């Protein structure tokens, strides 16, 4: 029985109530997912609870890069750059279909952030710290070569460029695949289950009272250790434990906008200067290019984070400054997302200056909290947390935990030996899919999203059906796959986090919204009013992701 399906929730909750766990993780973003996989793969009985959908917090709203963080070199964060830089190749190896090599172009301009010399040295140091293979190490480009590589760059103040290696991913898919892998090892991750209260015995945490938000019932979970990996909500969970003293979180907001590829047809990812001294990315991805990010202090409710007109205008102006021929306006924006960086507060530092390093806090009653960090570093963060649990386990039992082996555990869908194997798989699929009448780019999309699980999905696609539009048949096969294998409960779980359709293919989403919602209604036995209400909600979400209000004063 696959407990990571949408159809065995009752059994899963029964297990959660009846098991005495070693570790329960609060938070189903990448940090919590990584901890769950590390813990269960070292033999600890593990559960993970997520109050909304998996990856619905920051872990679906990042720039979606597995990167070393070049800009942290400027802040002399050598340790951070070395760790996340080296992690790039590891995470790529674990899921080469989902973490794809991407060359990044850094244009050098008169009066820009980096001089040619500083860039050349900086990128070289970056390569050394990150242990980049020789063939992938940075190349410095002349003005002419930079223009040739990226004809959209403004020629008059261009001095040259640096080309260096990064990786691109889908943050939400990465989180889901890590969780699915943890579930295969026997962990019990569950979404829509909110931690409300801690249970204590002799002054130490021994469990949690949770609410199942799908039916509003209480679930009690017993555990020897509880880890708080609640991202922007870390302090709220510490408040439940009355332990949010000393260091606190500092949230900063980051917005991305999406335009059609034709509106900003960059040939590769570009990391470019903004007139205010910051830098942002333009990243091509199939039929779109996305641009981001902003970085501003945020003091509101983490669940209400939105992109305002001011954020969008900032990104548009910055893009037009570097790519004047694009002449972007708000009307070019087809989608967007906004997320919060859960950073650890540092006195007197601005949003962009605060370190992205992770920190662990332990409360006197035993709550272990982790904050800060990067998507890229999730595995090492998890290792540190489970090593800490290992020390406590030793104190309690006199037994050692095995070492971390997550660098050797391929993620679900990622059983490819290397990038060439992924490319071969894509080219085999291409012939098959174009014969079936599917649009160009489908093979890349399916492989990037599902890896080898695409085979399973295509079996469903090939099953007898009344649908004459092959792309609709495919969208239905995707929903079928996600319902049976990826714990989808609400339409947004599917449209936003399992497929990225809301961000990257909003027109496809609008086109197939109704038939896909009908499928939800059939599987979950929705009454007509619920179907109507879901349909209106999603139409509104689609509209609001491309239309922006001014920031309230």
- 271, 106 Cβ separation under 8 angstroms: yes
CB nearer to ligand FAD: pick between 160 and 373: 373
Q: Please identify which residue in the block is written with the tokens 């030793």.
A: 394
Q: Please identify which residue in the block is written with the tokens 């086109």.
A: 511
The single residue among 59, 109, 181, 442 that binds ligand FAD, judged by CB under 6 A, is 59
Helix, strand, or coil (residue 128): helix
CA distance linking residue 337 with residue 311, whole number of Å: 11
Q: Which two tokens stand for residue 52?
A: 């909304």
* Smallest distance, ligand FAD to C-beta of residue 48, A: 9
Q: Residue count at the site for ligand FAD (CB under 6 A)?
A: 39
CA distance linking residue 394 with residue 398, whole number of Å: 4
Of 228, 234, 221, nearest to 368 by C-alpha is 228
Buried b (16+ CB within 10 A) or exposed e, 84-100: bbbbbbbbbbbbbbbbb
* Smallest distance, ligand FAD to C-beta of residue 88, A: 9
CB nearer to ligand FAD: pick between 375 and 412: 375
By CB under 6 A, the residues from 353 to 392 that bind ligand FAD are 373-376
85 binds ligand FAD (CB under 6 A): no
Helix, strand, or coil (residue 549): coil
CB nearer to ligand FAD: pick between 342 and 506: 342
Estimate to the nearest angstrom the gap between the alpha carbon of 67 and the chain centroid: 13
Binding region for ligand FAD (CB under 6 A) out of 228-236, 361-369, 470-478, 543-551: 228-236
Residue 303 DSSP class: G
71 binds ligand FAD (CB under 6 A): no
50 binds ligand FAD (CB under 6 A): yes
By CB under 6 A, the residues from 139 to 168 that bind ligand FAD are none
Q: Which two tokens stand for residue 349?
A: 């530092």
CB nearer to ligand FAD: pick between 56 and 454: 56
Helix, strand, or coil (residue 10): helix
* Smallest distance, ligand FAD to C-beta of residue 281, A: 8
- DSSP for 387-454? HHHHHHHHHHHS-PPPPP-GGG-PPTT---SSHHHHHHHHHHHHHHHHHTTPPTTHHHHHHHHHGGGH
67 binds ligand FAD (CB under 6 A): yes
68 binds ligand FAD (CB under 6 A): no
The single residue among 23, 44, 65, 513 that binds ligand FAD, judged by CB under 6 A, is 65
String of contacts with ligand FAD for each residue 456-495, x by CB under 6 A: ----------------------------------------
Binding region for ligand FAD (CB under 6 A) out of 53-61, 140-148, 523-531, 540-548: 53-61
CB nearer to ligand FAD: pick between 354 and 458: 354
CB nearer to ligand FAD: pick between 337 and 425: 337
The 10 Å Cβ neighbour count of residue 131 is 11
Binding region for ligand FAD (CB under 6 A) out of 12-20, 44-52, 513-521, 536-544: 44-52
* Smallest distance, ligand FAD to C-beta of residue 324, A: 25
293 binds ligand FAD (CB under 6 A): yes
CA distance linking residue 99 with residue 94, whole number of Å: 9
* Smallest distance, ligand FAD to C-beta of residue 432, A: 33
Binding region for ligand FAD (CB under 6 A) out of 151-159, 198-206, 333-341, 403-411: 333-341
The single residue among 46, 62, 289, 485 that binds ligand FAD, judged by CB under 6 A, is 62
CB nearer to ligand FAD: pick between 293 and 545: 293
How many residues does the structure list for the chain? 553
Binding region for ligand FAD (CB under 6 A) out of 17-25, 48-56, 214-222, 496-504: 48-56
Binding region for ligand FAD (CB under 6 A) out of 16-24, 57-65, 102-110, 445-453: 57-65
The single residue among 49, 129, 326, 479 that binds ligand FAD, judged by CB under 6 A, is 49
* Cβ-based neighbours of 427, under 8 Å, separated by 6 or more: 443
State the sign of the Cα–Cα–Cα–Cα dihedral 311, 317, 318, 320: positive
End-to-end CA distance of the chain: 52
- 213, 51 Cβ separation under 8 angstroms: yes
Helix axes 470-485, 442-450, angle to 10 degrees: 0
CB nearer to ligand FAD: pick between 24 and 457: 24
- DSSP for 206-220? EEEEEEETTTTEEEE
CB nearer to ligand FAD: pick between 373 and 500: 373
CB nearer to ligand FAD: pick between 240 and 443: 240
- DSSP for 152-194? TS-STTEEEEEEEEEEE--HHHHHHHHHHHHHHTT-EEESSEE
- 363, 239 Cβ separation under 8 angstroms: no
CA distance linking residue 202 with residue 172, whole number of Å: 39
Q: Which two tokens stand for residue 530?
A: 């619920």
Q: What is the largest CA-CA distance in the chain?
A: 71
Residue 2 DSSP class: -
By CB under 6 A, the residues from 10 to 39 that bind ligand FAD are 26-32
* Smallest distance, ligand FAD to C-beta of residue 240, A: 7
499 binds ligand FAD (CB under 6 A): no
Alpha carbons within 13 angstroms on the beta-carbon side of residue 128 total 8
The single residue among 81, 106, 158, 195 that binds ligand FAD, judged by CB under 6 A, is 195
* Smallest distance, ligand FAD to C-beta of residue 135, A: 24
The single residue among 41, 63, 336, 499 that binds ligand FAD, judged by CB under 6 A, is 63
Binding region for ligand FAD (CB under 6 A) out of 258-266, 314-322, 339-347, 402-410: 339-347
String of contacts with ligand FAD for each residue 233-262, x by CB under 6 A: x---x----------------x--------
Helix, strand, or coil (residue 347): coil
Q: Which residues bind ligand FAD (CB under 6 A)?
A: 26-32, 49-52, 56-59, 61-65, 67, 194-195, 229-233, 237, 254, 293, 339-342, 373-376
């Amino acid at each position: 029985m696959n407990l990571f399906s949408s159809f065995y929730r009752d059994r899963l909750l029964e297990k959660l109530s009846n098991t005495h766990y070693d570790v329960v993780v609060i938070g189903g973003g990448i940090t919590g997912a990584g901890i769950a996989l590390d813990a269960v793969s070292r033999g600890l009985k593990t559960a993970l609870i997520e109050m909304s959908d998996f990856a619905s917090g920051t872990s679906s709203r990042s720039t979606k890069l597995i990167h070393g963080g070049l800009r942290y070199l400027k802040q002399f964060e050598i340790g951070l750059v070395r760790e996340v830089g080296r992690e790039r190749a590891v995470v790529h190896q674990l899921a080469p279909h989902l973490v794809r090599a991407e060359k990044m172009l850094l244009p050098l301009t008169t009066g820009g952030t980096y001089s040619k010399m500083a860039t050349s040295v900086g990128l070289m140091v970056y390569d050394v710290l990150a242990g980049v293979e020789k063939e992938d190490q940075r190349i410095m480009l002349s003005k002419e070569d930079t223009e040739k590589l990226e004809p959209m760059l403004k020629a008059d103040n261009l001095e040259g460029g640096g080309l260096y290696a990064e990786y691109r991913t889908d943050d939400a898919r990465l989180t889901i695949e890590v969780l699915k892998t943890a579930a295969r090892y026997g962990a019990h991750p569950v979404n829509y289950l909110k931690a409300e209260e801690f249970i204590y015995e002799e002054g130490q945490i021994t469990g949690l009272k949770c609410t199942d938000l799908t039916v509003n019932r209480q679930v009690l979970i017993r555990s020897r250790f509880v880890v708080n990996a609640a991202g922007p909500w870390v302090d709220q969970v510490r408040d439940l434990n009355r332990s949010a003293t000393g260091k606190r979180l500092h949230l900063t907001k980051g917005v991305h906008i999406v335009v059609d590829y034709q509106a900003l047809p960059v040939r590769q990812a570009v990391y470019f200067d903004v007139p205010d001294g910051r830098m942002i990315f333009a990243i091509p991805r199939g039929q779109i290019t996305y641009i981001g990010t902003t970085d501003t202090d945020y003091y509101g409710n983490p669940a209400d984070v939105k992109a305002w007109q001011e954020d969008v205008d900032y990104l548009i102006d910055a893009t037009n400054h570097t790519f004047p021929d694009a002449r972007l306006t708000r009307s070019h924006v087809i989608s967007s997302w906004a997320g919060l960086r859960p950073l650890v507060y540092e006195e007197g530092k601005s949003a962009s200056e605060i370190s992205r390093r992770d920190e662990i806090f332990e409360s006197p009653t035993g709550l272990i909290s982790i904050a800060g960090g990067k998507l890229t570093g999730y595995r090492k963060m998890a290792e540190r947390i489970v090593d800490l649990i290992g020390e406590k386990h030793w104190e309690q039992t006199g037994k050692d935990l095995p070492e971390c082996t997550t660098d050797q555990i391929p993620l679900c869908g990622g059983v490819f030996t290397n990038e060439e194997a992924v490319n071969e798989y894509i080219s085999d699929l291409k012939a098959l899919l174009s014969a079936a009448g599917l649009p160009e780019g489908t093979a890349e999309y399916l492989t990037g999203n599902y890896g080898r699980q695409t085979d399973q999905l295509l079996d469903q696609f090939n099953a007898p059906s009344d649908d004459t539009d092959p792309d609709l048949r495919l969208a239905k096969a995707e929903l079928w796959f996600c319902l049976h294998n990826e714990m989808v409960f609400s339409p947004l779980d599917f449209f936003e986090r399992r497929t990225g359709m809301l961000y990257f293919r909003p027109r496809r989403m609008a086109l197939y919204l109704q038939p896909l919602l009908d499928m939800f209604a059939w599987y979950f036995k929705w009454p007509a009013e619920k179907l109507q209400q879901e349909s209106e909600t999603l139409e509104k979400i689609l509209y609001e992701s491309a239309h922006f209000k001014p920031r309230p004063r």
